[in-house]
Structure 1
Amino acid sequence: MNNTSHSGSLPKFPESMWSHTSSRPSFSTLNEDIQCDVAVIGGGITGILTAYVLLEAGRKVAIIDAGQILQSTTSFTTAKITSQHGLIYSKLLSHFGKEAARLYYEANEEAIRFIADTILKHNIECQFQREDAYLYADSEEQLEQLKQEWEAYRQLDLPGEWVDDLLIQVESKGAIVLRNQARFHPLQYLTALTSSIVEKGGRFYEHTTLEDYAEEQDDGNLILKTADGHKITCQHAVSASHFPFFDGGGLYFTRLHAERSYAIAIKPQKPYPGGMYINCGEPKRSIRSAMLDGSEVLIVGGESHRTGKNDCTIERYEKLEQFARETYGIEQIPYRWSTQDLITIDEVPYIGQVTSRHPRIYVATGFAKWGMTTSAVSAVLIADLITGQENRYTELFTPSRFKINPSLKNLTVQNAEVAKELISGKIEAVHLKVEDLRTDQGSVVKYRGKRAGAYKDSTGVVHLVDTTCSHMGCELNWNEAERSWDCPCHGSRFNYQGAVIEGPATEDLTRLNPHYGAEK
């Protein structure tokens, strides 16, 4: 498959630069019953860092992934390691108070140090570099928001600085800079830690799906079951699988919403002055540099939207391309990719016991696009909970919290949005027929009088699926840029053949006439 861009055009297919420039180990499927101290579910950055800390504390750990490790959200990040999470501190100050807001900053600063220390300890080559991070306003409206954030920095005594001008060529009304932040190649970092985990006796199992099931025994142990019927007996279980593998009775999908965002890697025509940048409004624009084959590239990200909203997703890439071309010029676009992030109703991650009824099951989710630091926060916090150590961030991140403002408002809006999608998808008028599809086109179609999803591949074969989400029955929409079926209710995603890509769904879509259009 030729995916090379020419004359600065977008690649035909999405591909993560991190995945393409790193080699990852592979592991076998779990095909027997096992025992361990801690079962970590999910082989991304959160799961690997958690396993690493627990092994350092002397625990026996097994890491279970439904697909392949390091092939989900972690592969599609912009990989900024920073405590500057947009307009977070003014919100925290308003809704959580001064002490909690300051703790949030300190937790993320500790996470930066944790990552830096592990890189130094294991001598990991992963393009780690300290950078200044800039949050800037590109309009008068954004400037007012940025001034409120700056006031929060002052009240919290955060070491930010106000600057009027930026070195990069973007429209700016002012910016807050946080010095000594960082960036790296996430998969090179995590592949090295994976080797360390294996050396210490950690076990990895890939292509192993767990049921939403956890039996608590009289002796305090837990039993988890795989879809193939094997048992994992453990003292503790950690859900580090983006969306929790164990929902504790339907709590989390009502308190999280999914958003997609996009990135392109460009070879610029103009020199780049360094630093990491993000604006404080919409449409979001994020910039950082990286090295690719000995040359500098810029990663330009943004254009977020709620998952499953039926718009032309390829336009999201095109808008990033236009922005990059206007600011630094483009010689080539070697990669484009998108990612999915979960956001809590108060925008602070859920890290801790999944519910009070299940004290030995822990969750880390809702990182709101800042997973490089919050994954490290999660690893240390959850390891402390498991080993009985005090952690001063426990209350701030506890999943059981509920801040009346803004949680109540956001929960109401979120559930109303889900109800709307449940209804509108069922009554949508569909006029396109399977025969109308062009090669490499996907769409909702009318098939045998009912709504269906169809994608015609490059050979002319049509892949037909039932577009009813296997999670809670919402109707899926076609994602043109990623060739996937996305759910607007809770963010589940499926490939064009109906296989689950992202949860909370765990069951594939029903396939309809899989040989439609095939040569006889």
Structure 2
Amino acid sequence: MSNKSHQPMWKEEGSAPSFPALKETAFADTVIVGGGITGIVSAYLLTKAGKKVVLLESTKLVNGTTGHTTAKVTSQHNLIYDQLIQTIGEQQARLYYEANQEALQWVRRVIQENKIDCDWEDETAFVYTNADKETETVKNEAESYKQLGIAGSLTDTMPWKTPFKEAVSMEGQGQFHPLKFLSPLIQYITENGGEIYESTVAKDIEKGDRQTVITKDGAKAIGDHIVIASHFPFYDDGFYFAKMHAQRSYVIAIKPKTAFPGGMYITAETPTRSVRSARLHGEEVLLIGGEGHKTGKKQGTEENYQALINFAEKEFGIEQLLHSWSAQDLVTLDNIPYIGRLRKDENIYVATGFKKWGMTSSIVSALLLSDLILNKQNRYAELFSPERFTADPSIRNFVKQNSDVAGTFIKGKLDRLFREQEALPPNKGVVINWEGKRAGAFKEEDGTVHIVDTTCTHLGCECEWNEAERTWDCPCHGSRFAVTGEVVEGPAIEPLRKIGRD
């Protein structure tokens, strides 16, 4: 029942048009780096405001996190509101909810006004638990809903008749097909003066009277404003490598044997189980997600898909396994995204750290950043400011997270496994000792061996093998590399060094 391709379902029915690479110099009011939902919606909003936009994407549009989402458009970011009340206070917690609700309503309105056929469905979202240790947490979350005026409550029934001990619902949420939603926005951008370039890797920024993005190939994009919407910021003037960590999670799409009654679901406990329905070629399918872990911290990643398959078979029965894929998300120190100016009084902006809730967080980002660029007031600017550093719980998390990074760095440097190339198993990446240094080796079925230096080209941590995606993943900051060393996912820009070939 295994699916070895690990391709997201969305691309089977939707795709973005192709665009050339930037070869020379482009000029714009705003240069946007990143062709996911944040970058595209930001470009759409600024184009509608009459601004010239240049958008740069390192690979293909919606090829990153946006193309690998489960596409729940919801303000119910698992159990977060009670935590936010405790850490940043009731007023700021309410602002977080209202920002995400405004984003949801914006999506709904754009779909209606433009008659976008993107499989939008209104749904109630549920967080449920079967773990005794989480029952009080769920109850506390329901109390926070009352405190903040959120439309939802503790519930003793759910449409999906699975056992649970406690559940909290949030009404008026939604789900959609992300590529179908973004396609008409991309068309609007290009038809109204915007320029989009793919296969264009942003490498650096030169500051001046106008800001200049320098690409890996030496081309330039010059604008009054620069938006960094590249998942992990390619320009790390804000030390984001020390303020976030990367997590991978997994999704399968199945044709179930039993009908699904609707609703969107996620467990409070780990390993997480997330469930929603979708449409594929007019038929109902289910998306089952979960099994998250810190990037580079787990080697038997194929087991994650099997765990989701086992869950789906037990709950719904599997008539057919259609797709399986994984996604990578960034988590900030206080679980709130960094959205806003990179530095006070500079026209460089960033949006990152969406913690697996990118559909609303991306829209929050686009709305906030476009307001800042257009000199409009936005009441959420302070809440999401990248310059914030909340003492509780951020300092504890900061120390823990970075001591973990340091430990990973040191452990990786000392790690040694296979010593003889002949002992390599096929279709599996292993760490070997190559002339006294740590290296990563991968043997193809035909016997071809790819050997790379496993030292991440971002900041020097040692990459670990990801069995499911057949990539070398950095456990410190989430960069991922192909077996031949090419960058699959940043923040790294340069490939792993090739140190041997068979």
* TM-score, with structure 2 as normaliser: 0.98
Shift of 1:147: 1.0
Give the distance between the partners of 2:240 and 2:435, measured in 1 at CA: 36
Give the distance between the partners of 2:26 and 2:15, measured in 1 at CA: 28
The counterpart of 1:232, out of the listed 199, 212, 221, is 221
Give the distance between the partners of 1:482 and 1:126, measured in 2 at CA: 28
* 8 Å Cα contact 2:453/2:499 also seen in 1: yes
* 1:188 paired to 2:180: yes
* 1:285 paired to 2:273: yes
Q: Equivalent residue for 1:320?
A: 308
Q: Secondary structure at the match of 1:154?
A: helix
* 8 Å Cα contact 1:289/1:298 also seen in 2: yes
* 1:28 paired to 2:28: no
Q: Secondary structure at the match of 2:144?
A: helix
Shift of 1:71: 0.6
Q: Equivalent residue for 1:505?
A: 492
Give the distance between the partners of 1:234 and 1:23, measured in 2 at CA: 28
Residue type matched to 1:386 in 2? I
The counterpart of 1:474, out of the listed 461, 474, 477, is 461
* 1:349 paired to 2:337: yes
Give the distance between the partners of 1:138 and 1:432, measured in 2 at CA: 46
The counterpart of 1:207, out of the listed 185, 192, 199, is 199
Shift of 1:440: 1.7
Q: Equivalent residue for 2:90?
A: 98
* 8 Å Cα contact 1:434/1:446 also seen in 2: no
Give the distance between the partners of 2:132 and 2:156, measured in 1 at CA: 13
The CA RMSD over aligned residues, in Å, is 1.2
* TM-score, with structure 1 as normaliser: 0.95
* 1:375 paired to 2:376: no
Q: Equivalent residue for 1:123?
A: 115
CA gap of 1:321–1:169, structure 2 versus 1, over 3 A, is farther
* 8 Å Cα contact 1:33/1:230 also seen in 2: yes
Identity among equivalent positions (%) equals 47
Give the distance between the partners of 1:424 and 1:223, measured in 2 at CA: 38
Residue type matched to 2:376 in 1? Q
Q: Secondary structure at the match of 2:500?
A: coil
Give the distance between the partners of 2:184 and 2:56, measured in 1 at CA: 18
Q: Equivalent residue for 2:292?
A: 304
* 1:113 paired to 2:105: yes
Q: Equivalent residue for 2:212?
A: 223
The counterpart of 1:486, out of the listed 458, 473, 477, is 473
The counterpart of 1:452, out of the listed 428, 436, 439, is 439
* 8 Å Cα contact 1:247/1:354 also seen in 2: no
Shift of 1:437: 2.4
* 8 Å Cα contact 1:353/1:398 also seen in 2: yes
* 8 Å Cα contact 1:41/1:239 also seen in 2: yes
Q: Secondary structure at the match of 1:189?
A: helix
| Aligned residues between the structures | 502
Q: How does 1:326-365 map to 2 (within 5 A)?
A: 326-356=314-344, 359-365=346-352
The counterpart of 2:65, out of the listed 70, 73, 83, is 73
Q: Equivalent residue for 1:3?
A: none
Residue type matched to 2:22 in 1? L
Q: Equivalent residue for 2:380?
A: 393
* 8 Å Cα contact 1:165/1:174 also seen in 2: no
Give the distance between the partners of 1:502 and 1:29, measured in 2 at CA: 18
* 8 Å Cα contact 1:143/1:174 also seen in 2: yes
Give the distance between the partners of 2:455 and 2:29, measured in 1 at CA: 39
The counterpart of 2:158, out of the listed 166, 190, 194, is 166
Give the distance between the partners of 2:267 and 2:259, measured in 1 at CA: 21
Q: Equivalent residue for 1:39?
A: 31
Structure 2 gap segments, 5+ residues each: none
Shift of 1:473: 1.2
Shift of 1:213: 2.4
Residue type matched to 2:102 in 1? E
Give the distance between the partners of 1:23 and 1:472, measured in 2 at CA: 34
Give the distance between the partners of 2:8 and 2:424, measured in 1 at CA: 28
Shift of 1:432: 5.1
Q: Could you report, residue by residue, the CA deviation over 1:468-517 in whole angstroms, capped at 9, with x for unpaired residues?
A: 11111111100000000001111111111111111121110001223x1x
* 8 Å Cα contact 1:212/1:247 also seen in 2: no
* 8 Å Cα contact 1:132/1:178 also seen in 2: yes
Structure 1 gap segments, 5+ residues each: 1-8
Give the distance between the partners of 1:422 and 1:322, measured in 2 at CA: 35
Give the distance between the partners of 2:229 and 2:130, measured in 1 at CA: 36
Give the distance between the partners of 2:177 and 2:145, measured in 1 at CA: 29
